[in-house]
Amino acid sequence: MLSATGTALPGNGVPGAGELLWGAALVCLGAAAWLAGGWHSGVRRARMVLAQGRTGGAGGTGGTGGTSGTDGTAGSGGVGGTGRAPARLMTDGLRRVRGRLKPEWWAPAAGLVLAVLGDSVLPVVAGAAGLPVLRRVRLAARERRTREHRQDAVIALCGTLAGELRAGRQPGEALLCAAHDSGGLGDAQAAVLAAARFGGDVPGALSAAAGQPGAEGLRGLAACWRVAVDQGAGLAAGLDRLEGALRAERDQRSDLRAQLAGARATAVMLAGLPALGLLLGVALGSDPLHVLLHTAAGMGCLVAGVVLEGLGVWWVARIVRGAEAAS
């Protein structure tokens, strides 16, 4: 079959499954790069350049109130500003959509692409089933980051409070200043500050605030406060020892996480090998999606592979959690 220019086209000119799969992969990579913020950063840079040029043009007109200058450019209320408003609205809308889209929505999107390429509904079902799993993983990661941030805030609170006490402040006043600077009390900050300001039960409020994830160190602060009030012991010295203990515990967790990073990276690499095998099969000219989705042997291999893959990921995650809990 010849094209209009006389060159030969393969077959009837319809792209094969391999070409469609590579095209879909390129589209997914481009979408990922766009969601990563590269396109928006370019738009922001261009907007800043235009804003600087518009400011300089307004200064050159000598404050004519947005009237056209000698070079025929319009002011801020001219046609140029009106022409840029739709583009700004579009970029703002895309940014809002991007903020609402969560990473777990890549699972049904990838399932839809594979369903179109493999002419089967099974990838769509698998993508929909993976959506709650990925959401749970994302929420767990966000809770872990929140817990670690609160642990750092509690350590900073102890150090700042000890410094305020050495500066000559009273314990209640020092707690007010330290809490505002560090933010280690979290959601219970109002109750603790009210107890410190009006002479309430500060150790009880601190113990209640220690129930938040990552704020367990506040129990030690409550104990130091209670001992200092009841027995007249030095609160600053106790806070120094508490800060050192919390900091050592945090460093130990960081060292353990660094040691387990290799195991996590190995698990991620092994989990991605099946997808790499499919891409290699497509590159070699075979049709692995048709074999997996439309033949009995392929379906059996697919089910066995998914089960073994899930068991492997679960086992590695269990080992890592057990090591972290034992520490």
Span 56-81, mean pLDDT? 42
Give the residue among 133, 136, 139 at the shortest CA–CA distance from 108.
133
Span 11-16, mean pLDDT? 47
Percent of the chain with pLDDT over 70: 70
Tokens of 261: 């990073």
Question: Given a cut of 80, is residue 303 above it in pLDDT?
Answer: yes
What span, in angstroms and rounded, lies between the C-alpha atoms of 252 and 250?
A: 5
- Residues 278 and 180: beta-carbon distance below 8 Å: no
pTM of the model: 0.63
For the chain, the residue count is: 327
What span, in angstroms and rounded, lies between the C-alpha atoms of 29 and 21?
A: 12
Q: Which of 54-58, 249-253, 268-272 has the highest mean pLDDT?
A: 249-253
Span 81-103, mean pLDDT? 66
What span, in angstroms and rounded, lies between the C-alpha atoms of 58 and 64?
A: 8
pLDDT confidence bin for 63, thresholds 50/70/90: very low
Q: Which of 55-59, 62-66, 217-221 has the highest mean pLDDT?
A: 217-221
pLDDT confidence bin for 246, thresholds 50/70/90: very high
Residue range 180-214, pLDDT digits in tens = 877 767 777 888 888 888 888 888 888 888 888 88
The predicted pLDDT at position 62 comes to: 40
DSSP reduced 3-state for 2: strand
Residue range 160-174, pLDDT digits in tens = 988 988 888 888 888
Phi, psi of 12 (to 5 degrees): -100, 15
> What does the mean pLDDT of the chain come to?
75
**DSSP one-letter code for 77:** T
Span 300-314, mean pLDDT? 88
Residue range 268-290, pLDDT digits in tens = 888 888 888 888 888 888 888 88
- Residues 209 and 191: beta-carbon distance below 8 Å: yes
Which distant-in-sequence residues (6+ apart) come within 8 Å of 160 by Cβ?
Answer: 177, 178, 181, 182
Alpha-carbon 199 to chain mean position: 41
- Letter string b/e over residues 129-164, b meaning 16 or more CB atoms within 10 A of that residue's CB: ebbeebeeeeeeeeeeeeebebbbbbbbbbbbbbbb
Residue 8 β-bridge partners: 2
- Residues 164 and 181: beta-carbon distance below 8 Å: no
Tokens of 237: 């010295």
Question: Given a cut of 50, is residue 11 above it in pLDDT?
Answer: no
**DSSP one-letter code for 186:** G
- Residues 316 and 263: beta-carbon distance below 8 Å: yes
Phi, psi of 289 (to 5 degrees): -65, -40
**Residue 195: how many other CB atoms lie within 10 Å:** 19
Phi, psi of 2 (to 5 degrees): -110, 145
Residue with the two structure tokens 């709650």: 132
What span, in angstroms and rounded, lies between the C-alpha atoms of 286 and 283?
A: 7
What span, in angstroms and rounded, lies between the C-alpha atoms of 131 and 310?
A: 15
| 10-19, 23-32, 229-238, 288-297: least confidently modelled range | 10-19
DSSP reduced 3-state for 8: strand
